[in-house]
Amino acid sequence: MDAVSSPVTVTRHGAVAVIGIDHPPVNALSTGVRQGLLDAVRVLDGDPQVAALVISGGAGRFIAGADIREMSLPPGPPLLPDVVAAIDGCAKPVVAALDGAALGGGCEIALACDLRLAGPKALVGLTETRLGLIPGAGGTQRLPRLTGVAEAIALVCEGRVLKARDALALGLVDAVEGDVLAAAIARAPATAKRRLSALPVPPGDKDAEAAAIARARKGAKGMPAIEEAIRVIRAAEAGDFAAGLAAERAAFLALRESAEAKALRHLFFAEREAGKVPGLEGVAARPVASVAVIGAGTMGAGIAVALADAGLAVTLVERDDEAAVAGLGRVRAVYERQVKSGRISAAQGAERLARVTPTADWGRLASVDLVIEAAFEDLAVKTDIFRRLDAIARPGAVLATNTSYLDLDAIAAATARPQDVVGLHFFAPANIMKLLEVVKAARTAPDVLATALALGKKMGKQAIVAGNCDGFIGNRIYALYRRHAEVLVEDGASPQDVDAALEAYGFAMGLFAVSDMSGLDIAYAMRKRRAATRDPGERYVDIADRLVEAGRLGRKTGAGWYAYDAAGNRAPDPLVTQVIEQARAAKGITPRSFTAEQIQRRLLAVMASEGAKVLAEGIALRASDIDLAFVNGYGFPRIKGGPMWAADAMGLKAVLREMESAHAAAGAGSEPAPLLVELATHGGTFAGWHQGGQQE
């Protein structure tokens, strides 16, 4: 082991040898870390002057898991199971000093040790299922020997991360210590060998095991890793550790090459790329300690909750005192529901609510660092608000709008400081949905864009930078996706056919059920706004318009594309069937049937083609940003990787053929994207394309 180049070093403390890992930022299990650990354990095991070993990741760290960058490469030596086996087989006691995250492979290394001590901020968990995998270095076999099968299934299948005290309660760590490294060095010489591999699985409650399996399968969302995790964890009950390891490893290697795991790895990297915005290198965000939200309706209240949850002081502004108090009531109701469900304590709810101050006094806006306008989606309303803000907000305050479709440049033009204006498009419910579109206007200053991204991160949102166009990234693509779903209905599919196909693909809800939930009047207003500029060559389906004009606005009126009972359960409605049949008759359409696969392929092609236009126009920086937007904001199944990734998997030649059929069916506005044509012709992919036409 080369002490100069290796991320793993050894220091002596009397008869205790501390194996230290220093591989910033999180001590991921790279080849160098694995090799250094293996070499150190082997050398120290044979050193007669060493009585015990301690594995430490340094202050605030342990090992946060695999090096994901190596996941797409052929496995190289030493393999993690070899490292874990060396620790397990060491004749001397080995103590794990967990002062930070011990996740995935890091947790497996800790489980191979004879004693696990945790610092107060340690985190412990086997999180591989989040990447479509299962633990592959003994985690599925050692964990049930500590916790029992039912708890192990729950921990692995949920990818749960435990805080130190919770890990102690389940027996995953043996003690929580203030100075964990000092405690490990002190306790190591007297630690007895306790190999989990040699222990039997404790007898468990079969009802609890069945319940854990049922919960895991319910939350599986089509992920093969969940069923495999259940199978190999249950195999531990047979008592043959070596056979269990072999079953685990075979399953891990098969899953590693699965489409689902590749899609989830793609999203993992996409999340890290999303924050890399050209022109923001070295740009500092403006400080934000206080925020005002203008408009305390459902969206404004949700934004206020998201900000308060992030520890910010929030001024909630409405037109009059009565509306302001009602807005605070909506915020209070959110926290009351969270307290009732056990998500937060009553004290936490009270603390967060206290950060929100309702007011009708616009003068209060003069002192805040950032203002978010969340008023009605009407350009005249929003430009009027920004004119008022121009006279009130302090110099340097960031002025943001929550518009989901409107022209950000037109809104910014209402002020004398367009450089301070940015779009912050939240998705309902704003305190829950992870996506935040950060929209850059023509004159948005770099530090304003950096401030918006920093705020998104502080709120725990997945922030995606979008350029300015009608609908930005998400709603622009979604509008065409919805339009083609309606074309399919007019051509012969039923709304429930389309929804069933999408749910079979992995969406939690189909498009028409989602429309009913959000309200059909929202899209109706958008269509009416666009009517004057609509291309006469575009096929226009007016079924949704007829439903709105009949008073069917969705769940809020008890009827939309579906009928709803008092409990909110949906069912097909003969009245909707009648409206659809009348629309077909008016155009002389003879309905035909569509299979679920035909519906899925058509709608995926439409999303991908419009996404290609968004890419080529520079509205999205990269294809993976579009994938993140749809996974985090529109319910696209994570295991499919997003629409652009899924289109690459389908094959762009097949996507182009499907898009040509979609164009023939829907007319103007549905032409295949030139970028799609180019990539399909030359064998390229969306994942490999970058601005300027480069292909990796």
Q: Give catalytic residues, as residue numbers.
A: 108, 128
Secondary structure of residue 292 in the 3-state scheme: strand
| Euclidean distance between the first and the last CA atom of the chain, given in angstroms as a whole number | 37
DSSP conformational letter for 559: B
Closest alpha carbon to 533 in 668, 660, 441? 668
DSSP conformational letter for 561: S
Which token pair is 585? 């008759």
Q: How many CA atoms lie within 13 A of 462 on its CB side?
A: 24
Q: 590: which residues sit within 8 A by CB, 6+ positions away?
A: 584
Where would I find the beta strands (DSSP E) of 318-379? 356-359, 370-373
Which token pair is 437? 């579109």
CA angle 42, 43, 49 (to 5 degrees): 125
Rounded Cα–Cα distance for residues 56 and 174 (Å): 16
Rounded Cα–Cα distance for residues 581 and 573 (Å): 13
What is the crossing angle of helices 511-518 and 474-491, to 10°? 120
CB 490 within 8 A of CB 590: no
Which token pair is 227? 């069923």
Closest alpha carbon to 326 in 363, 355, 345, 300? 300
Which token pair is 520? 């059909």
Closest alpha carbon to 294 in 391, 361, 367, 379? 361
Rounded Cα–Cα distance for residues 175 and 162 (Å): 14
Q: Is 440 exposed, middle or buried (0-12, 13-18, 19+ CB in 10 A)?
A: buried
Q: Which amino acid is at 641?
A: G
